[in-house]
Structure 1
């Protein structure tokens, strides 16, 4: 394998290791309270932030649960309800309660905050919005810069509230009910540093509080994201008509319209006094078409921003003359203007996911290859307005980059084939723009590595990489207790774990071909796509909202 001069220089500057290989896996502090963990970003100081899901022994407020309500009696048996009353809750019943609270059928049921934010460098949970002992908000950390400023997002905190509907002719004496009421807004982005936190200003916060999402923070504190900038007159009229507070709390009624806000790419900036001002709002690529019989929703989202204030992401594109209606395509947001990256006639859709301080943009574009829609990485030079599409592991290999550093090193996930098999597997990759080399990160680890690195989430200027591995561990039930088979042996399960890949001084690629007779040349260095999809489902839509 050929390494670029940049990589060789970085490796030579690192501390000497007694082992070979180009990267060593450094395990992070163990987090025993959650099952699956996903690091999203790291800075040059080695601080790693991210989120985790499936909380063991998830806390519930069972005192607030009306065990005689039809919602409960329909979900649990008489025996289970009796056990809940006396607090006799085993793992099976706890798991059923968790499912019940995670899929509520009414606002009489508590919401569950089953995703938590973490500082993976210390293993400590970071509480963003919900400070309660029984969390009801899902919370995520997405990025952190060298100043220690981190950005995250949280869904609503739900609070218990007694509510008495207005009397009607049919029900002149309505009963008071206890409801879990969302606190506006329904999504809120925050800037955090140590014990301090600031909510990012939302341009339009009426009729339910609006929303904001922050995705990336630059070294000089530009923040890329999106949020609500308005709402159509029709929806406002519906809210004013329906959300009177007579039949339900106004906040619950407004929550039904949370998806009706106009969303636009936003770029905030933390000023020298430590305050965040109103964001710069950006539009979208294609012209808006307002014709009878055509109902389209236009949006834009910024996913990353660099020190030059150049943001990238995606936005709606429409061209009636070419029968292209409301696709989303990779977009550059800069100085109040939006500009495209890829040709919308060639690609079905696209998204720019990161930009470095040299104005090099990476992202994913989708097209039909051999009858199947595949994702292909692009590298766009904003300085010269040129774009290229690296092949990846092979022509039809799906490739999804996640980050690029100032050395032109790109990380992400791509598809490979197992030898003598038509089965595709997802592995983490490292792409060197200058050398045009595309490498499975697993091949840069020692031959005796027990890890399957399936996704690389970020790379800093030291070429350290935060990655997701699939690891076999002792299985635990919903209470966090080890699951054993009939013989008393622990039942093993595959879980997602976050690791730090550290460059090795003067590292060379290990030759792992000797001593192997199983013919599975990718056995050591691949992780199953199906396993990864199962593990990522709870976090997929919020980790980096590509589409």
Structure 2
């Protein structure tokens, strides 16, 4: 399914005085079955992809749970005591869950079991749940796009909700790329060594596969080397360009071999005694040390056929020494129409192996490092590149165990090798660039105010031609009941300077079943949620003179606190776009 979304006819371009303009904010459709909705990418025609988190009403299978387990009983008792202390007693018992599956009707029981399973996410003997999904936006809705999830008996014939999936990029014609994990299947046919009864295991066929989604909505799996056919390999697709000849260039990362260290672990651990072999492999894959993973490309012709011989590694930042056994890792996150990709890779310094990633670009099968790091523990990530050859990213300048890293944004011209660091809102303010258009405007998120351990992050707009940094919220109406938004992340800037992003606003609080929550007096409770927004430039507007920050309510200061656990760096690193 391909959608032509929100054709905001604007025709507004800027000729230098960008910051004389203001922006008009349009809230995009949110996903009905979840708490938070995000944008991950959009193209200049208004085709938008995204992601929903905190899905409501996940189906929980309790049929295999041992309700006599002391750990489960202790966790229940702890919750009951805590709720009794605040005079808000729970109304379910473990018997209610075991015999009547109270998780389907009682939100407290549902939340309790979700927490219990979440703490055992690394244990293959328990159901896996993931409360997120990929989205494609329509004119009036944000619709789920299923990549690999499937119906399962243990969820009553509904989707397993055990997968992770991302749509990471949208091309100029609406084709998309991304990746997903395989759904888990519940099996009760394995008998552990020296035991008589079978044990339930939740197993999956592969850890992740990159995909290409045609403008018509067909999902095409992107092949990776077939060295590990038994356990599925591992790959992700992070960006796509439709080239002038009608072909598609897709980049990302793929496993290319099993690392020597990973093979040794497999031989020592995966003996089909205490768990099935593929469960053991899943555990090793989760450690990120099983495969050698390199930046990778795929090419498809105009009819969406994968071109033979064009699926290949495009480089990694170091050559393996004879005595090296651990995994080597490199990743491409964005590519421009000249085929130059940007990302990060492990590299060497003074002939020593460097574990942390270094930003760089991939060209003609070679990785070239961008940032000149001083210390071995420093790292950096490249996240985007425009068609003029200007890459953006961020670096961790300082790192001490137990202390916060200092994050600096940068841009780098691949053609003249010029590196420029972006000055943030204040000294020590972390700044994360996310997108750059061909005119050199950069958007992203940065710490706008130092609030101790939880600094407030807001969206920014940066002009490379004059080094001006602007808080996007300063270009919007002052926050009020009529305008309840704080834009906390700018994800995409189009060639006509429209900005797609994420804002927070206050909404009725909902429990894990999707029901509106009430306080002790019966009144609705409220919370901050994430919503997708489109910002359209208005060159005739004038910024409002808002009240000083100290005169604003606490809600303004805390609006983005709860949602920023959802805007974590792993998402930022894997959600790259360029079309």
TM-score by length of 2: 0.81
Which residue is equivalent to 1:17? none
Contact 1:427 1:526 in 2 (8 A): no
Q: Is 1:99 equivalent to 2:115 in the alignment?
A: yes
Which residue is equivalent to 1:190? 211
Residues 96-146 of structure 1 deviation map (CA, whole Å, 9 limit, x = unaligned): 121223333643321113211111343111101002213221222211112
Contact 1:36 1:54 in 2 (8 A): yes
Contact 1:341 1:380 in 2 (8 A): yes
Q: Is 1:398 equivalent to 2:430 in the alignment?
A: yes
The match for 1:494 among 519, 528, 533 is 528
How many pairs were matched up? Answer: 519
Secondary structure of the 2:439 match is coil
Which residue is equivalent to 2:129? 112
Q: 1:53 to 1:81 in 2, by over 3 A?
A: farther
Contact 2:257 2:292 in 1 (8 A): yes
| Structure 2 Cα separation of the partners of residues 401 and 123 of structure 1 | 26
The match for 2:93 among 79, 95, 100 is 79
Contact 2:505 2:531 in 1 (8 A): yes
Secondary structure of the 1:428 match is strand
The match for 2:382 among 344, 352, 365 is 352
Secondary structure of the 2:102 match is coil
Q: Is 1:512 equivalent to 2:545 in the alignment?
A: yes
The Cα shift of 1:240 comes to 4.8
Contact 2:30 2:37 in 1 (8 A): no
Q: 1:159 to 1:418 in 2, by over 3 A?
A: closer
Contact 2:13 2:497 in 1 (8 A): no
Which residue is equivalent to 1:11? 12
Contact 2:171 2:241 in 1 (8 A): yes
| Structure 1 Cα separation of the partners of residues 99 and 182 of structure 2 | 29
Which residue is equivalent to 2:304? 274
Q: 1:296 to 1:240 in 2, by over 3 A?
A: closer
Which residue is equivalent to 1:61? 61
Residues 255-287 of structure 1 deviation map (CA, whole Å, 9 limit, x = unaligned): 122131111111222223312345331333345
| Structure 2 Cα separation of the partners of residues 71 and 191 of structure 1 | 44
The match for 2:365 among 333, 336, 350 is 336
| Structure 1 Cα separation of the partners of residues 173 and 405 of structure 2 | 41
Contact 1:286 1:319 in 2 (8 A): no
Q: 1:83 to 1:248 in 2, by over 3 A?
A: closer
Contact 2:213 2:219 in 1 (8 A): yes
Which residue is equivalent to 2:515? 481
Which residue is equivalent to 1:5? none
Residues 471-528 of structure 1 deviation map (CA, whole Å, 9 limit, x = unaligned): 1111011111111112221111111221111222x33332314xx3774489998766
Contact 1:452 1:524 in 2 (8 A): no
Contact 2:210 2:236 in 1 (8 A): yes
| Structure 1 Cα separation of the partners of residues 264 and 566 of structure 2 | 42
Which residue is equivalent to 2:221? 199
Q: Is 1:320 equivalent to 2:350 in the alignment?
A: yes
Secondary structure of the 2:306 match is coil
Contact 2:167 2:575 in 1 (8 A): no
| Structure 2 Cα separation of the partners of residues 455 and 107 of structure 1 | 35
How is 1:81-480 mapped onto 2 (pairs within 5 angstroms)?
81-89=95-103, 90-104=106-120, 106-121=123-138, 122-132=141-151, 133=158, 134-165=160-191, 170-171=194-195, 174-183=196-205, 185-193=206-214, 194-203=216-225, 204-206=227-229, 208-220=231-243, 221-240=248-267, 242-258=269-285, 259=288, 260-277=290-307, 278-286=310-318, 288=320, 297-320=327-350, 325-345=354-374, 348-368=378-398, 373-417=405-449, 424-448=455-479, 449-480=483-514
* Greater shift in the superposed pair: 244-253 or 26-35: 244-253
Contact 2:262 2:327 in 1 (8 A): no
Q: 1:176 to 1:453 in 2, by over 3 A?
A: same
Contact 2:172 2:241 in 1 (8 A): no
Q: Is 1:27 equivalent to 2:27 in the alignment?
A: yes
The Cα shift of 1:52 comes to 1.6
| Structure 2 Cα separation of the partners of residues 476 and 438 of structure 1 | 37
Q: 1:271 to 1:522 in 2, by over 3 A?
A: farther
| Structure 2 Cα separation of the partners of residues 316 and 159 of structure 1 | 35
Unaligned 5+ segments in structure 1 are 1-8, 14-19
Secondary structure of the 1:227 match is strand
Secondary structure of the 2:443 match is strand
| Structure 1 Cα separation of the partners of residues 257 and 358 of structure 2 | 22
| Structure 2 Cα separation of the partners of residues 494 and 361 of structure 1 | 34
Unaligned 5+ segments in structure 2 are 1-9, 15-19, 78-91, 152-157
The Cα shift of 1:198 comes to 1.0
Contact 2:509 2:527 in 1 (8 A): yes
| Structure 1 Cα separation of the partners of residues 284 and 399 of structure 2 | 38
The Cα shift of 1:87 comes to 3.5
Residues 207-262 of structure 1 deviation map (CA, whole Å, 9 limit, x = unaligned): 52210011111233222211211113453355356535454322112212213111
The Cα shift of 1:21 comes to 6.3
Secondary structure of the 1:309 match is coil
TM-score by length of 1: 0.85
Q: 1:396 to 1:528 in 2, by over 3 A?
A: farther
The Cα shift of 1:536 comes to 3.2
Contact 2:528 2:559 in 1 (8 A): no
Secondary structure of the 2:228 match is coil
